[in-house]
A and B are shown apart, each in its own frame.
Chain A
Amino acid sequence: MIGVISYLAFFGTVAAILAIAVLGLNLQWGNTGLFNGGVAAFFGAGAYGAMMLGGPADPQQLGGFALPYPIAFAGGIGLAALVAWAVGLLTLRLRHDYLAIATFGVAVALEAVARNAEWLTGGAKGMRGFPRPFEGLFADQFTYNLAFLGFVVIILIAVYAGLERLVRSPYGRVLRAIREDEVAARALGKNATRLRLEAFVLGSAIIGVAGVLYVSFYAFISPQDMAPILTFQIWAMLIVGGAGNNRGAVLGAFLIWGAWTSSGFLLSKFAPTAVQIYTGPIQYIMIGLVIVGMLLWRPQGLLPERIERTKTGNEAPGEKASQG
């Protein structure tokens, strides 16, 4: 039974970290309509930033300043936000599909930098040995992992609560107004360009939080962790869970990551030995089918967006309140 708890704690930690990244993307896409195709870049910036500030010294490269955890944490978020600000200034003039391609390109470029700038990032070998926070306080690995799960869940709840407040505030309504009709928002005197940039930077910083937690948990980061598949995974979680709904984003993260890992587990358990060698490709097919099925039969996601009327008055045109 200890084994089951230990595994579930591990699974929950990874899923909660991914859920934070999905919440960040939800602010960008679900609420503001910014198609960020470079999720992996901001995740990687958070992870590498924390690793460089908080990791152990390595004679072969810059960084490894072994600074205290809070500084490394803040630094990772800061790097993700900084990258997002620079990328946003350059690309946010672009609309939807153009923005998606531009941000995807930025992510590929940053992965190439991480892979090649050996003096900075350790190159393809990656960086290792991040001191796991508060590890000294716990007697054994098992209780530490449970405590780390608690730590990640607290941050997830904090991010969730903060975003819920944000999207229900007037600020959140302006973001949605920009998403629905930018010209109209401008006509009402809203500075759409600045608001889009703010939402992009804030969302990317939240994705950066996920990157920092990821490197805190694995104590290792390599360019492989910034591969485009990560962007795809985060997007699949948001679409399945329900874009525009923060609960949906969290639910989608747990469900998709659960499906992703349990498909491999179940295949290894129940597939006959003759097809055991093909379980890898079969797993990919199963994951793909789940996502395609969701898009076909429930494109709004499991928990669709709910537009709340904050004041009595006219019903929001074209929006249908639906229950999750």
Chain B
Amino acid sequence: MKTRYLRQLAVAAALTVGGAGVAAADCPVKVGVALPTSVDWGKPIAETALWVADMINEAGGVDGCPVETILRDTQVDAKVGVDAAKAMVDLDKVQLMMGAVSSGVTLPILTSVTVPAGVMQISCCSSSTRITGLAEEGSTKGLWFRTFATSNVQSAVLTKLAKDAGYGKVTVFYKNDDWGQDMASLLDNALKASGVEVAASIAITDNQPSYRAEVTEALGGNPDAVILALYPKEGIAVTREWISLGGTTKMVGANSLRSEEFRDAVGMQYLGDFIGADTSSPRTASASAFVEAYKAKFGGEPSGPGLPNSFDAAAISLLAYHAAGKDATGAEIAAKVPMVTDPSGAPIDANVEGFKKAMALLSEGKPVSFQGGTGAVTFDANGDVSAPAVSWVFTESGIDEKQYIPLEEVNAFIQSLNER
């Protein structure tokens, strides 16, 4: 009986996909997008990726072929995300997969679907260092890229700011999720390597009514300053309790705290010594061009997480696809990525005209330097990006940038940490 149902299921599925399989001839070029569209912050990330595909089509398409994006929801469930990716790779024969957001979904897609099938995968938003480890041991076969500056870069910039401010002993508060746990261990290494003592490293779990125990523990270490790797919601709660119990106002915060909500809720009188770090706001014409274009398209600021990263992931991978040709395999597309992000290449703006120019140059076999929403990114051997950084401060009127740290300086600092 079971076999009968199985057979019926198989026949039904084969009928459904049969027609689609035949239509998958060379044009249009199919591209898989596996993102959590059913989650509130996931939808704008997907919209941004689809928007880039539209712009690429407007600029002439990949190697003369229009791009057809296949968008599937991952539901932030590894089973669902892997199934969606598997269907796109096996049934639609995509050679390029964009996604996912959560590392817990991205990693199984990478190891069970895209790498075994030789499909290139690029993520806007996964930060886990587990994937760097995977790439280091060669398990990603050079098919993996991400445009999200890893926790490694973020922690290095925070360390640099703390060191430059002259703090000798710090306490770290970190969000208790995969990003925060990563940040905590990386900060620990980076701070120690640069000669800053870590008094304590304290996990902050979401939605607690009070953080008195955590804050009291931190006070015991008597640090010069605190580093906050938190999101605004729990960041506000922790900072308020910290200051009300007599903690220092010398604070260094991650880019996630760059919000007016945080400033207003904590109070400007306590934020005079606060320094923030950010990796995704480079002072390039293209970054502001991205913001302008986004506002024109969606009628609002690109304020959600991962939007410039999603833009760049889609743009870089599609330009590489163009350079590799419409019949390229995943490995061939991946091999062309350095050609799109070549610092010595012609600078390319993140708009339709820029894409047209880039495609013309790439077709002639000339490298270009794509200047996207996160600046002129380059990938290292593990597919990770480095990015320029800024420090910022809260002011009465808003949030001001204080210092711009170019990409070269960030890389040099990370290098110096590794050497010690």
Contacts and interface: CB of A to CB of B under 8 A. Distances in A.
B104 A223 contact: yes
B130 A116 contact: no
Given A8-B10, A141-B116, A123 B78 contact: no
A269 to B, nearest CB: 6
Nearest to A124: B178
Interface string B71-83: 1110111111011
A6 interface: yes
B415 to A, nearest CB: 24
Given A268-B71, A280-B37, A118 B77 contact: no
Interface in A9-56: 10-12, 14
A217 B75 CA distance: 20
Contacts of B16: 262, 265-266, 269
Contact of B107 (A128, A265, A269, A279): A128
Contacts of B1: 247
Interface string B27-68: 000000000111100110011001000000000000000000
A115 B83 contact: no
Nearest to A227: B77
B288 interface: no
Given A268-B71, A280-B73, A3 B91 contact: yes
Contacts of A265: 16-17, 72, 84, 87, 91
A254 B9 contact: yes
B73 A220 contact: no
B134 A128 contact: yes
A4 B17 contact: yes
B21 A3 contact: yes
Contacts of B83: 10-11, 14, 261
Contact of A224 (B17, B43, B90, B105): B105
A263 to B, nearest CB: 10
B104 A4 contact: no
A250 interface: yes
A224 B21 contact: no
Given A3-B21, A125-B103, A261-B83, A284 B9 contact: no
Nearest to A225: B78
Interface string B95-126: 00000001111011001100011000000000
Contacts of B176: 115-116, 124
Contacts of A281: 37-38
A7 to B, nearest CB: 4
B78 A222 contact: yes
B249 interface: no
Contacts of B134: 128
A53 to B, nearest CB: 20
Contact of B90 (A7, A123, A125): A7
Chain A at the B interface: SS class: helix
Contacts of A227: 77
A277 interface: yes
B399 interface: no
A282 B71 CA distance: 13
A283 B38 contact: yes
Contacts of B87: 7, 261, 265
Given A4-B18, A224-B77, A279-B73, A10 B37 contact: no
Given A116-B203, A276-B50, A264 B73 contact: yes
Nearest to B113: A10
B353 interface: no
A283 B83 CA distance: 14
A6 B108 contact: no
Contact of B104 (A116, A225, A277, A283): A225
B14 A4 contact: yes
Contact of A126 (B13, B43, B46, B104): B104
A10 B20 CA distance: 19
A10 B85 CA distance: 11
Contact of A218 (B6, B90, B112): B112
A262 B13 contact: yes
Given A218-B78, A222-B78, A124 B107 contact: no
B71 A258 contact: no
A255 B50 CA distance: 31
Given A224-B77, A260-B80, A124 B5 contact: no
B384 interface: no
Interface in B148-192: 176-178, 181-182
B36 A280 contact: yes
A229 interface: yes
Interface string A235-251: 00000000000010011
Nearest to A278: B37
B235 to A, nearest CB: 18
A247 B5 CA distance: 11
Interface string B347-372: 00000000000000000000000000
A1 B237 CA distance: 56
Nearest to B177: A124
Nearest to A214: B79
25 contacts: A3-B91, A3-B93, A4-B21, A7-B86, A7-B91, A10-B90, A116-B176, A124-B176, A126-B104, A128-B107, A128-B111, A141-B117, A217-B112, A224-B76, A225-B104, A247-B2, A254-B6, A260-B80, A261-B83, A265-B17, A265-B91, A277-B71, A278-B37, A280-B73, A281-B38
Given A125-B181, A254-B5, A281-B38, 10 more contacts: A3-B21, A7-B87, A124-B178, A125-B129, A218-B111, A220-B107, A224-B76, A224-B78, A280-B38, A280-B39
Enumerate the 8 nearest inter-chain pairs by beta-carbon distance, A residue then B residue, closest first: A280-B38, A280-B73, A280-B37, A124-B178, A224-B104, A7-B90, A222-B104, A3-B90
